[in-house]
């Protein structure tokens, strides 16, 4: 399985706004590359360029040394799967039917027993098998994200592009998602994931790319990229980088809010306000 995604000098602009300026990066099978950066930095645009949804004004993306647009849509769908930020379905398909759609690039004629087995396995792995006969539209945001993940996994591609796969998930499912990515990477899959949680990126990514104003400011191992200095420059937030107690990775602890340091007394005061507000609510007389 040769899977190599190579972006060279990508530049993308809409009107006068340059969303991505001169970004180059490579991903190969077996590794997880996390893309981090503040809102509006160009992370999603970069992912869309890598997926082939958008075409860069200059520079190009190649998949296995072939420009992306040289691949036919169906051939591309067997090479890379994309998990979108939000996934809605316009008609009343069930969870199982939505996950089965991930098999489309592999199905000729009608789906086989093998396709059903792969879909069930993917639903099981994302802990959504019990939702199989529910209407997808009635699921919660986090459940939808997990079913979408199952659909993407069922596509069985050597490259996975994920746009904030964990943003709607609870803590355990965030780690479940990243563990699945680790398992896939171990089998030779190349993973690119846009993440907001720096600690999640630190724990699971092999490399991290930090994007700011459409530029790739830093790229390297978590230890190289996630320094207090870098985070302060890009996110404008004072943090302390500690060593994770059990993992060999950095642990980021924010120190400040609103750009100034919070003192212990301030924290105490706001906690007191919340407590007071709480009491007001509970002691209010109930009408009727």
Partner 1 sequence: MIGKLSVWQASTQRYSRLPSVRIALLLVLLVILIFTSLSAVSTGAVNIKRDEVFKISVDAITDKLHIRYNSGLDYAARCLPGQSCIQRDAALIREIRWPRVIMAGLVGASLAIAGTALQGALRNPLADPGLIGASSGAAVGAVTAILLGVNLGDLLNSDAPALARLTQSLFAFGAALITTFGVFRLARWQGRTDSTALLLIGLAINTMASAYIGLATFISDSREVNDIIFWSLGSFAEIFWRDVYVVLPFTALSVVILPFLARQLNLMTLGESEAQHLGVNAERLRLICVGLAAMTVGVSVAFAGMIGFVGLVVPHLIRFFTGPDHRIVLPASVLTGAILMIAADLWARTVAVPTEVPIGIVTALFGGPVFLLLIILSRRGRG
Q: Are 135 and 120 contacting, i.e. CB atoms less than 8 angstroms apart?
A: no
Q: Are 193 and 165 contacting, i.e. CB atoms less than 8 angstroms apart?
A: yes
For the record, the structure tokens of 50 come out as 């890598």
Contact status: 51 vs partner 1 (CB under 8 A):
yes
Residue nearer to partner 1 on the CB measure, 15 or 245: 15
Residue nearer to partner 1 on the CB measure, 71 or 230: 71
x/- binding map, residues 66-105, to partner 1, per CB under 8 A? -------xxxxxx-xxx-x--xxxxxxxx--xx--xx-xx
CA atoms of 81 and 160, how far apart (whole Å): 5
Tell me, by CB under 8 A, how many residues bind partner 1: 35
CA atoms of 229 and 199, how far apart (whole Å): 16
Site for partner 1 in 131-150 (CB under 8 A): 133, 135, 137-138
For β-strands 207-212 and 190-194, DSSP reports them as unpaired
Our measurement of the distance from residue 43's CA atom to the centroid of its chain's CA atoms, rounded to an integer in Å, reads 10
Residue nearer to partner 1 on the CB measure, 48 or 207: 48
x/- binding map, residues 242-271, to partner 1, per CB under 8 A? ------------------------------
Site for partner 1 in 115-134 (CB under 8 A): 133
Q: Across the strands, what pairs with 216?
A: 211
* Cβ-proximal residues to 129 (8 Å cutoff; 6+ apart), any chain: 120, 123
The distance of closest approach from Cβ of residue 18 to partner 1 in the complex, given in angstroms and rounded to an integer, is: 17
Interface positions with partner 1 (CB under 8 A): 48, 51-53, 73-78, 80-82, 84, 87-94, 97-98, 101-102, 104-105, 107, 110, 133, 135, 137-138, 155
């Amino acid at each position: 399985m040769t899977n190599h995604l190579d972006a060279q000098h990508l530049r993308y602009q809409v009107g006068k706004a340059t969303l991505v300026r001169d970004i180059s990066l490579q991903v190969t099978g077996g590794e997880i590359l996390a893309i981090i950066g503040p809102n509006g930095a160009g992370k999603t645009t970069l992912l869309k360029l890598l997926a082939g949804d958008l075409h860069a004004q200059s520079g190009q993306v190649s998949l296995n040394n072939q420009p992306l647009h040289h691949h036919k849509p169906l051939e591309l769908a067997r090479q890379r799967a994309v998990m979108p930020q939000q996934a809605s379905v316009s008609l009343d398909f069930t969870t199982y039917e939505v996950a089965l759609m991930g098999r489309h690039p592999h199905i000729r004629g009608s789906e086989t027993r093998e396709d059903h087995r792969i879909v069930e396995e993917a639903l099981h792995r994302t802990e959504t098998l019990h939702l199989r006969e529910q209407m997808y539209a009635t699921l919660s945001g986090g459940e939808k994200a997990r079913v979408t993940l199952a659909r993407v996994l069922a596509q069985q591609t050597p490259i996975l592009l994920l746009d904030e796969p964990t943003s709607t998930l609870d803590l355990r499912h965030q780690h479940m998602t990243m563990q699945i990515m680790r398992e896939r990477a171990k089998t030779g899959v190349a993973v690119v994931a846009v993440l907001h949680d720096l600690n999640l990126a630190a724990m699971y990514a092999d490399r991290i790319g930090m994007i700011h104003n459409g530029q790739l400011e830093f790229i390297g191992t978590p230890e190289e990229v996630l320094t207090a200095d870098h985070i302060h420059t890009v996110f404008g937030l004072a943090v302390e980088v500690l060593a994770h107690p059990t993992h060999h990775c950095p642990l980021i602890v924010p120190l400040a809010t609103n750009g100034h340091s919070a003192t212990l007394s301030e924290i105490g005061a706001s906690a007191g306000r919340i407590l007071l507000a709480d009491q007001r609510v509970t002691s209010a007389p109930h009408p009727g």
